[in-house]
């Protein structure tokens, strides 16, 4: 099981890295070809992708949970068909209604400028159709994920991302309008849907309709009772980041939506590095009956996550400005400041993802509703209180307040239901904080020495900070020999290297 979890995590990590590279290459081209205003419209229209939240009903997580618990059984067959029918029954009418009221959505809610309306209308249309395919396709993706074939779905997602951004680049070079971008997104969604559905059917085998009429009601009730808790959580979550974009569009301006979206895209990719590593835990926890085993995994993985998060945040703080200057080349200050705060605090918040997955998997999904509600309330409250004083930066303040409120609330639930926190002692926290400030201090000195050489900074600083981080963790005793054996094994080269660095004497014995 450990090997499968690691394999799934590695493929998820590769997916995120490749998508990050595609993103870095495409956004500057998009802005250059169509302009900042058009990118702002594109960023705002991506809210449409979050509209799937309204129609999913939590069915994706529900299906993964029950298939992981039940394995290949007749009940599982009925659950798959029921899930697919429920998804179609909700998503199809919603898509039709959203298309029917497109003018109201675009002009009155999203505040799309009139001069951009024609292109935005077709982008909106293609996005809705693409999202319909992506939503229905989640049924088939859930089958693969429940079977611990997450490495397969990650590979399919990599292919989807390549097609997605590749077609957008083709459109930008030959067509140069938002409607063409929308068509490219639809085509990529269709390709992903076809590949994923075929793979799921091959993995699961033939799905019998024989007992569907007798078992539909029971299966629907079971999945909806659990799924609606996840749905409510996701529905509330819609009013977090997408609502932030709408607030910025209404109170500040469309260009600023683009700045905020760039930071969110960077955050999504880097935050996804952690999220993809954690994701295989959900089907694992769903099928795990021993609460002690769950507690051990949640506690230990969260703690080790911070060992990675601390140097990563230090590098983000040090290098975001030179990176944005090379990457985008304009509006560097506002984009880099936004990205530093949003990414850093979301990285901290991502450490408690294992506990969030525990709550979802073990009939405590109602607690995730409270976590999402905390996000929305603090985000909107802080934005509303500070917008007249901070203007655009109120969106950053609200975002930071939201993620930290959910972080501490998640820790409360972890202590209550798993009798566990992230760290074993306050001393560990102090040592990590000390490590962070030492890295920032040394990195700042390197930046002063390399002033004006941005590319050299981006290369040199991580190369120097990585061995310094390893040294700091050795000095502070933050890595134990059993940790090395648990995550890297005992007899391979990587395990031996780390063991000799941290525990030469103990290891040789």
Which three-class secondary structure string do you get for 394-453? HHHHHHHHHHHHHHHHHHHHHHHHHCCCCCCCHHHHHHHHHHHHHHHHHHHHHHHHCCCC
The residue extents of the domains of the chain are 1-238, 250-478
Residue 283 pLDDT more than 70? Answer: no
Residue 325 pLDDT more than 80? Answer: yes
The helix-helix angle for 291-327 and 353-361 (nearest 10°) equals 130
Q: Mean pLDDT across the stretch 36-54?
A: 69
pLDDT of residue 172: 82
More confidently predicted of 125 and 212? 125
Q: What would the pLDDT profile of 471-486 be if each residue is shown by its tens digit?
A: 898 888 887 766 666 6
- For residue 273, what pLDDT band results from cuts at 50, 70 and 90? low
Residue 378 CB contacts under 8 Å (≥ 6 apart), including other chains:
398, 401, 402, 405
Residue 508 pLDDT more than 50? Answer: no
pLDDT of residue 217: 86
- For residue 238, what pLDDT band results from cuts at 50, 70 and 90? low
pLDDT of residue 339: 92
Residue 5 pLDDT more than 60? Answer: no
Judging by beta carbons within 10 Å of its beta carbon (0-12, 13-18, 19+), is residue 128 exposed, middle or buried? buried
pLDDT of residue 354: 85
- For residue 263, what pLDDT band results from cuts at 50, 70 and 90? confident
Q: Mean pLDDT across the stretch 379-393?
A: 90
Q: What would the pLDDT profile of 287-297 be if each residue is shown by its tens digit?
A: 677 778 888 88
More confidently predicted of 418 and 25? 418
Pick the closest to residue 200 from 151, 137, 287 (CA basis): 137
Q: What would the pLDDT profile of 336-367 be if each residue is shown by its tens digit?
A: 999 999 999 988 988 888 888 888 777 787 78
Residues 146, 63 contacting (CB under 8 angstroms): yes
pLDDT of residue 239: 66
Q: What is the pTM of this model?
A: 0.65
Per-residue CA distances from 174 to 181, 318, 483 (Å)? 11, 38, 53
pLDDT of residue 282: 65
pLDDT of residue 191: 95
C-alpha of 326 from chain center: 25
Residue 493 pLDDT more than 70? Answer: no
Pick the closest to residue 27 from 346, 320, 259 (CA basis): 259
Q: Mean pLDDT across the stretch 448-458?
A: 88
Q: Mean pLDDT across the stretch 64-87?
A: 83
Q: Mean pLDDT across the stretch 436-454?
A: 91
- For residue 470, what pLDDT band results from cuts at 50, 70 and 90? confident
pLDDT of residue 272: 66
- For residue 433, what pLDDT band results from cuts at 50, 70 and 90? very high
3-class DSSP state for residue 162? helix
pLDDT of residue 241: 72
Residue 15 pLDDT more than 70? Answer: no
- For residue 27, what pLDDT band results from cuts at 50, 70 and 90? confident
pLDDT of residue 142: 87
C-alpha of 356 from chain center: 13
């Amino acid at each position: 099981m450990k090997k499968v979890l690691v394999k799934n995590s590695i493929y998820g990590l590769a997916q995120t890295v490749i998508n990050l590279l595609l993103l870095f290459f495409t956004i500057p081209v998009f802005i250059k070809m169509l302009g900042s205003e058009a990118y702002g419209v594109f960023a705002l229209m991506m809210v449409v992708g979050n509209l799937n939240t309204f129609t999913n009903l939590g069915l994706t997580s529900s299906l993964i949970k029950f298939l992981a618990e039940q394995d290949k059984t007749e009940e599982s067959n009925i659950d798959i068909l029921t899930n697919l029918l429920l998804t179609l029954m909700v998503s199809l009418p919603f898509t039709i209604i959203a298309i029917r009221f497109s003018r109201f959505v675009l002009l009155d809610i999203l505040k799309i400028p009139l001069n951009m309306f024609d292109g935005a209308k077709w982008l909106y249309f293609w996005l809705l159709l693409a999202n319909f395919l992506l939503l229905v396709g989640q049924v088939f993706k859930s089958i693969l994920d429940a079977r611990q074939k997450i490495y397969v779905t990650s590979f399919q997602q990599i292919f989807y991302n390549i097609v997605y951004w590749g077609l957008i680049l083709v459109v930008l070079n030959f067509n140069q309008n938002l409607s063409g971008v929308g068509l490219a997104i639809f085509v990529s969604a269709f390709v992903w849907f076809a590949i994923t559905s075929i793979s799921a059917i091959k993995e699961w085998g033939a799905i019998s309709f024989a007992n569907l009429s007798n078992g539909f009601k029971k299966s629907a009730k079971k999945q909806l009772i659990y799924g609606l808790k996840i749905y409510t959580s996701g529905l509330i979550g819609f009013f977090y980041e997408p609502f932030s974009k709408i607030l910025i569009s209404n109170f500040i301006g469309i260009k600023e939506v683009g700045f905020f979206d760039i930071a969110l895209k960077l955050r999504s990719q880097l935050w996804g590095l952690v999220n993809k590593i954690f994701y295989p835990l959900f089907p694992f926890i769903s099928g795990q009956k021993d609460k002690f085993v769950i507690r051990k995994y949640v506690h230990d993985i969260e703690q080790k996550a911070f060992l990675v998060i601390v140097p990563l945040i230090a590098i983000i703080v040090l290098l975001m400005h030179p990176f944005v200057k090379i990457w985008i080349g304009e509006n560097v200050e506002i984009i880099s400041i936004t990205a530093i705060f949003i990414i850093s605090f979301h990285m901290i918040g991502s450490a408690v993802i294992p506990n969030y997955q525990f709550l979802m998997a073990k009939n405590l999904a109602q607690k995730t509703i409270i976590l999402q509600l905390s996000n929305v309330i603090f985000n909107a409250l802080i934005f509303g209180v500070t917008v007249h004083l901070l203007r655009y930066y109120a969106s950053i303040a609200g975002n930071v307040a939201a993620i930290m409120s959910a972080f501490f609330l998640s820790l409360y639930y972890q202590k209550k239901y798993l009798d566990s926190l992230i760290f074993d002692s306050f001393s560990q926290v102090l040592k990590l904080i000390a490590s962070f400030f030492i890295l920032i201090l040394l990195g700042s000195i390197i930046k002063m020495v390399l002033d004006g050489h941005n590319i050299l900074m981006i290369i040199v600083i991580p190369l120097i900070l990585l061995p310094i981080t390893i040294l700091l963790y050795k000095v502070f005793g933050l890595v134990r020999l059993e940790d090395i054996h648990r995550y890297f094994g005992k007899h391979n080269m990587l395990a031996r290297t780390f063991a000799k660095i941290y525990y030469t004497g103990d290891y040789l014995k």
